[in-house]
Structure 1
Amino acid sequence: MEDLPQVTHAKRNRLTLVVIVLSNFCAVCCVSLIAPFFAIEATKKGTSLTVVGFIYSSSELVIFLSSPVFGYLLSRFSPRSFYIVGLCIFGCCDIIFGCLNILPSGIPFIVACFFVRGMEALGTASVMTSSFTIVGLCFPERIATVYGVLKSASGAALMIGPALGSGFYELGGYGLPFWVLGSCTFACGCASYVILPHQDTVPPTQRPSGFAVFGSPSVWFGILAMYAAFFTLNSMYPFYAHHLTQFHLSQGIIGLIFMIPPSVYALATPLWGYLLDKHVSAVPTLWVALWCLSTSTLFFGPAPFLGFVPTVLWLTILMTAFFGLSFAPVAVSAVKCIYEGARESGLEGDVATFGFLAGIIQSSTYIGTFSGPILAGIMMDHFGFPWLMTGCSILVMVTSLSFTPFLGITLWRKFKLRKTHTEGYSEIK
């Protein structure tokens, strides 16, 4: 009978994880469903492609700016409330976005798109920061595993979202994709109100110090690695289809190639999360994964100075798969590094700490997703796709090289610790 509360608590934690995974899946589907048709509809409303690009990237900027604020607020208030309200705002904004085509063309349509997209981004930031906080509190010893599961759901949603958007668009026009998936997200918010447990706030004396966190090299390694990785990903995706046109492929084949990185990423992230929680050290894993990511990016173009590497389709597809395979350990081990650095800084595994770190993680991610397409567009105009990917490869490589001394110190500490344990065991014998 004594074990019954523990079993019930464990089941509730698993149910919480399932609800959050489904909610995040619906939310990311809502974000990605506009890719196949929004630009077409926006141009009918007199919106230039440049403005369409800013509408896309505006949400990334809002998430980058608001995530630290939500992370701070989560240390004062219950993350459950922010999660539920964020989902409901997200769902409502998506439903409203499906009605914007009735507005007059030009300025009214553009202003409404920016406003609704910005409000939706606030809901996204609230959901993402609070979801990381909640699962961190439920599974404090399995951070990498549950984060891998969440990112796997996001990767699957990035693949399925455009397909659902395209299908509903053909079935019922512009509004139907937003109404269906927005309603599903709002329903997830209502279900979360019933299922998610309450978390207590913490007294002021237990709240984290930002200076303590940013004094850890492990935290900075995770932050810069996530920025470099997501900068590279979002620099590549807007222009990758243009690069593939040289192979004279159909749109269907190009779409299938685009599905390769998120497919491999979605399959690999839970495995890497499990390994990082059980057997593998985060810092060496992140260092090696960054080099693998840099190598795959270097061969995407390929780099102009790699004259011996042919520009052929099979190599492009192979590097696309390798990119997704390398991206998975970077994303998961970077989060693990940030959480380990926070613990080494003396922070407790409470609501305040997880909320604060969730804000850091989201900001480092979305500054990369925001700045990547903008700088990539400049690179494409002046230098072309091969040099763009070369620049991204150098960015990732420099990030890894900058923390090579930190890697050496980490490995030396682990060696000394293992040696101490071995000597202690020999003395006991």
Structure 2
Amino acid sequence: MEGEEVGIRHQTDGGQKTTYGATGSRPSSGDERTAQIAGTSDSAPVAATDDGTSGLKSAQGVPAGPSTSYSDAVGLSSRRKKAIFLCLALNSTFVMICIAVLLPFFPQQAAKKDPSDSGDVQGASAIGFIFSITPLAQFFGALFVGRIIPKTGPKMVLMIGGVLVAGVISLFGFVNDIDDWADFLVICYALRFVQGIAGAMNITATFAVLVGLFPNNVSLVAGTIRAFNGVGFAAGPVMAGALYDAGGFTLPFLVHGGIMFAGTIWLFFTLPGDAEVGTGKKGNKMFKDSFTIPWSFVWCMTMFICGTTIGMLDPNLSPFLEDEFGLSATEIGLVYLVFAGTVAASAPVTGYLGDRYINPNKLQPPSMLVLCLGLVLLGPWAETNLTSKLWRSIISLVLVSIGFSSGITLATPGILNAMHKAGYEDTLELHSNLGGTVTALWAAGLTIGPTVGTTVVSAIGFPKTNAIFSIPVLCVATLGLAVGAAYALKDLYYRQRTGTYSLERQRLLPSKDQSTAM
């Protein structure tokens, strides 16, 4: 075989396409039927396999087996896959820590460089944009990165993203030496924009790898990664504040940059090498279909609304708790810890339920209704006749965190299931493009939420703003109920006419082997 390259190929309308592969390795005897399948497109009909999945036939009529995955291609052991998962989870945690490192001390230091008065709105907005430019960059970066991963492979993207995050966060430790206000802002904007692009590279490539490694546990994997992200976002300010008190402005950035660089080196030696994984020519169609397939559209909107809601709460919850209940900074931090802890605890549980027992589509409406209820009760407005109590606000935050974590955890497998039903197979191109789409929607919500939320809060107050933001959440829940009801009626009509489930429903039913295993 030329170049000693072994790949797993499948047939497309345009001919052969390598979806996953490993250089310099050969498949075991049990996997030989999936290796280097040759032939033309008209000799590779789709066939049903014994496990209920769609297989492919080669030119010789030998079944190609179920849709390929990253682990199938490189022949990774279960132990190696767990090591990769741990490494990627910690890498995601480091990325979130680096994003949150500015929170405890940077706004105060930046305000000292503003030549205008301390109460100047323009100066405050300029400092605020240093924070909001990162999710804006993630939005554009994720859409681009999702297209290039099929061409370059996820490992290269992860390496470049990790080095960029480490370099940018280290350089940020020296911006305090810039005295000119305009130069200070330009450098900060540029560094945070690059950090957003690098973060999108890490998040999207991590999604592409993990979905390929654990195709039967997508919800659990997504939930666990969300939990690690929550830990990173909660631990980042604590670590940064302690390092700032110990060594000043520069030390937190250098330490975090060093940790991120060390994690990238660890990732380099843990991940298998990239192979020629495809051409990435279906990216535009996949992106379009993710918004035209009904359930995929529902989950895309769920992800966006969840990002918008949390984006609104981030800058406005702390002032509300201080003004309404007179909480100190430490006490406010504990309230945020309750929120982050609930997300970290509930996300893996929701993911496990979505993988093993309940169709994620059935969990979408109740998740959004719980989020809606939490928003309505958080600092209730006068018309509800409920007095504002700290205990009620904490319970409301718990409800918000449960609904929010369920929404963002199940969005990934929800979209993936919808794309499978539409005929897409598990390929790196599908995983990377969907990872880019999900990351972009999340980043768009985090960009719009703080801007709109802060404006509305300044006009009508925090309680009524929560009520307004609960309306789109309720709309998304209603949309999920409507789409679910439409599919149920369609399947009922099909069964009355044929006596069997529709083909779409059959794809969701567990096979005999899966039922026995469960």
TM-score tier after normalising by the smaller chain length: over 0.9
List aligned pairs for 1:244-393, cutoff 5 A. Answer: 244-245=321-322, 246-306=324-384, 308-393=385-470
Q: Which stretch shows the higher mean deviation, 191-200 or 20-29?
A: 191-200
Deviations 1:319-345 (A, max 9, x none): 112211221211111122111111112
List aligned pairs for 1:76-155, cutoff 5 A. Answer: 76-155=151-230
What SS class does the counterpart of residue 381 from structure 2 fall into? coil
Aligned with 2:95 (options 23, 27, 33): 27
Deviations 1:55-93 (A, max 9, x none): 100111111111111001112221110011101100110
Higher strand proportion, which one? 2
CA distance in 1, matches of 2:298, 2:276: 29
Q: CA deviation at 1:404?
A: 2.3
CA distance in 2, matches of 1:305, 1:125: 42
Aligned with 1:75 (options 117, 132, 150): 150
Aligned with 2:252 (options 160, 169, 177): 177
Q: Tell me the residue number matched to 2:298.
A: 221
What SS class does the counterpart of residue 34 from structure 1 fall into? coil
Q: CA deviation at 1:105?
A: 3.2
- Structure number with greater CO (CA < 8 Å, separation at least 6) is 1
Amino acid at match of 1:340: N
Amino acid at match of 1:131: T
Q: Tell me the residue number matched to 2:112.
A: 44
Q: TM-score, normalised by structure 1?
A: 0.93
Higher helix proportion, which one? 1
CA distance in 2, matches of 1:412, 1:303: 39
Superposition RMSD on alpha carbons, in Å?
2.4
CA distance in 2, matches of 1:121, 1:86: 10
- In structure 1, runs of 5+ residues without a counterpart are none
Aligned with 1:9 (options 61, 77, 87): 77
Please tell me whether the aligned partners of residues 85 and 189 of structure 1 are also in contact (alpha carbons under 8 angstroms).
no
Amino acid at match of 1:161: G
Q: CA deviation at 1:200?
A: 3.2
State the aligned residue count. 422
Identity %, equivalent residues = 21
Q: Tell me the residue number matched to 1:159.
A: 234
- In structure 2, runs of 5+ residues without a counterpart are 1-27, 31-70, 116-122, 502-511, 513-518
Structure 1 runs, 4 residues or longer, greater than 2 Å off: 5-8, 198-215, 409-417
Q: CA deviation at 1:420?
A: 4.5
CA distance in 1, matches of 2:406, 2:457: 28
Deviations 1:111-135 (A, max 9, x none): 1100111111111011111110011
What SS class does the counterpart of residue 151 from structure 2 fall into? coil
Q: TM-score, normalised by structure 2?
A: 0.77
Q: CA deviation at 1:198?
A: 2.5
Q: Tell me the residue number matched to 2:61.
A: none
Amino acid at match of 1:297: L
CA distance in 2, matches of 1:8, 1:62: 34
1:240 aligns with 2:336: no
Rate the CA distance shift 1:369–1:205 in 2: closer, same or farther, 3 A.
closer
Choose 1 or 2 for highest CA Rg.
2
What SS class does the counterpart of residue 327 from structure 2 fall into? coil
